[in-house]
Structure 1
Amino acid sequence: MPTSSTSPWGPVQWATNGPVNIAFDRLTEGADGEPLLLATGLGANRRWIPDELCRMLAARGFAVARYDQRDGGDSTHLPATSTTNPIAALFGRRGSAYTAEDMVDDTVAVLDALGWESAHLLGVSLGGAVVQRTALRHPERVRTLTTMAAVPGDSAGLRSMRYVRLRTLSKFAGLKFPDTPEGDVRAGVEVFRLLASPARPFDERAAREAALRNKDSGLHDQEAQSRQIGAQWHGAPIEKVTRPTLVLHGADDPLIKPSAARTIASRIPGSRLVLLPEVGHELPEHSWSLVADELGRLVDAEREKRAA
């Protein structure tokens, strides 16, 4: 999990959606490229998307920006609800903090703040569901759609259960660490361990170094995760997605079954499925080049279609 000693990111900026402020920043490299917005997963802040992957994307012609979901990272955290456990939220015992449509509109607020009329979207895990929904709710803002390690964007609650490995989710929900910097580091290491591909030896030292660089309390903030996972979608089914779509999924994902990716690819017209070998619910170094190449291939095809 290497990183540069000098941050390639510009200063944090803010987008506003009603009472919610959404934190985002831009990669300083490749600023004149095709706009690409990255959406992160459950509880995780935007800094978990590896810098070197983002630099690879910039080298392939993308202007890269990333943002924190509401209730994650530097974005607004909402008031507590009666549901404080992600498993309970998944089963439908949820509060009414906000909807999935609200999270989609956060994405569009970031595009507005960036000055991007439209962009390519890449969402990982929960972010994958969010970008699918963005392509449904605001198709004019989406050039291409890449969803990774995600469930179908129109599934929720019990309908999601068929795609989730409950044993892993229960372990994830059972992580208990103190709300301290060291607790954040320990949580980061254990989340890395839990979500890594079992086909590769787990590098605990590298995981701890990554967690030290990015002490993210969101990885063990179950109340915030419950609000995120409990946000319900009321919109169209994913068969209505009209944007060029790439579906990526770790072949060894221990949290979301690859069948979720196969379902998405079968239901979104014209989409393409790529299973990433020796990848879990993560973005390990050996996958970066393949991910960047596949996004480049998707966008090249879309650009040729626009030029025709």
Structure 2
Amino acid sequence: MPRALANGLELEYDTFGDAANPPLVLVMGLGAQMVTWEAGFCELIASHGFFVVRFDNRDIGLSTYLDDLGAPDLAGITAGQASAPYLLSDLADDTVGLFDALGFAKAHVVGASMGGMVVQQLAIDHPGRLLSLTSIMSTTGDPTVGHTSPAALATLTRPPAATREEAIEQSIASYRTTGSPGYPATDEYLRFKATRGYDRAQHPMGTLRQAAAVVASGDRTEALRALRLPTVVVHGDSDPMIDVSGGKATAAAIPDAELVVIPGMGHDLPEPLWPEIVGAIVRAASRS
């Protein structure tokens, strides 16, 4: 796959559809590689007349690792006594850098989980570069909303695996814990997904630095109130990683945002829900 030089980094990316169509950029979440946006999902969006781009965020997948920044002090950052190696605004700048590298004056953006936070920050920092905004299973940074269940939190805080097989089994267990109870994935798919992710790239220290960026970036609520951008917010009512209150708060903060709450959806993108999620993305784009 190609790489783009963006914001001083190399970002691995992939595209779907006709480059002559309006661009739509997908931003994935914490520690999640671009292949978490399944090819079929990307192709479905492209079939609605978009040029779809997915990419690996900094410090994950096959994009540039920033190991020279060291391990973050998450406890110190949470207590306000230490700084993060970088912030969500830096990931937003990476995304704009990708726009520039690919020749996009403006683009539609879709973010999931931490990616939703990144595209919110992107809209705040670079409003003139966006055509529409879709925030999926994300939150505003307000600590009173979007809580994580104890079981989901445990998947984030366990020690790194020592072997490939242990890492794959941990991932499968995490997917089972955070996935959609109304649309459970098969064991075969979860093993495929976990194996694909491990064998493509495994970089837990990058995930920690991304987590530090989330913790250190604060509450975006007031800045979101100033947005004037076609927006849709999608969230599952059964999300244990980021409670649906995070999605409701996001939609309440952004003027005229459409809120789509999907029964039985957790913290993933089940294939049976792709038409509904893509439909929401298309509705936001059609308002631009």
TM-score higher than 0.5: yes
Count of residue correspondences: 283
Q: Are the counterparts in 1 of residues 65 and 206 from structure 2 also a CA contact under 8 Å?
A: no
Task: Provide the alpha-carbon RMSD of the alignment.
Answer: 2.4
> Is 1:206 aligned to 2:189, yes or no?
yes
Q: Secondary structure at the match of 1:106?
A: helix
- Report the Cα offset of residue 177 of structure 1: 4.3
Partner of 2:212: 227
- The equivalent of 1:119 in structure 2 is 107
Q: How far off its partner does 1:111 sit?
A: 0.5
Shift of 1:233: 5.2
> Equivalents in 1 of 2:82, 2:202: separation in Å?
22
CA distance change for structure 1 residues 220 and 195 in 2, over 3 Å: closer, same or farther? farther
**Are 2:228 and 1:242 aligned?**
yes
Distance 2:166 2:206 in 1: 11
CA contact (8 A) 1:189 1:208 kept: yes
In the aligned structure 2, how far is the partner of 1:184 from the partner of 1:15?
31
The structure-2 alpha-carbon separation of the partners of 1:301 and 1:201, relative to structure 1 and needing over 3 Å to count, comes to: closer
The CA deviation at 1:218 is 4.4
Corresponding residue for residue 23 of structure 1? 12
Map of 1:155-304 to 2, 5 A cutoff? 155=141, 159-215=142-198, 216-218=201-203, 223-232=208-217, 237-302=223-288
Partner secondary structure for residue 274 of structure 1: strand
Q: Distance in 2 between matches of 1:17 and 1:119?
A: 17
SS of alignment partner, residue 145 of structure 2:
helix
Would the alpha carbon gap of residues 161 and 190 (structure 1) be closer, same or farther in structure 2, given more than 3 Å must change? farther
Does the 8 A contact of 2:72 with 2:212 survive in 1? no
- The percentage of aligned residue pairs carrying the same residue is 29
CA distance in 1, matches of 2:4, 2:145: 36
Q: Secondary structure at the match of 1:212?
A: helix
For the 8 Å contact 2:225–2:253, the answer to whether it is kept is yes
- Structure 1 segments unaligned to the other structure (5+ residues): 1-10, 303-308
Pairwise CA distance, 1:54: 0.5
What is the identity, as a one-letter code, of the residue corresponding to 1:21?
Answer: E
Which TM-score applies when normalising by structure 1? 0.83
Distance in 2 (CA, whole Å) between partners of 1:218 and 1:249 is 28
Please state how far the C-alpha of 1:99 moved relative to its aligned partner. Answer: 2.4
1:41 is aligned to: 29
Separation of aligned partners in 1, 2:77 and 2:203: 16
How many Å separate the matches in 2 of 1:276 and 1:192? 18
CA change 1:214–1:234 in 2 (3 A) is closer
| Distance (whole Å) between structure 1 residues aligned to residue 285 and residue 243 of structure 2 | 27
TM-score computed with the length of structure 2 as normaliser: 0.88
Contact 1:101 1:234 in 2 (8 A): no
Deviation track 1:34-71 (CA, whole Å, cap 9, x = no partner) reads 20000000011111111111010011111000122222
Contact 1:101 1:233 in 2 (8 A): no
Q: Deviations over 1:79-124 (max 9, x none)?
A: 21341x5x77556565431122212111100101111000000000
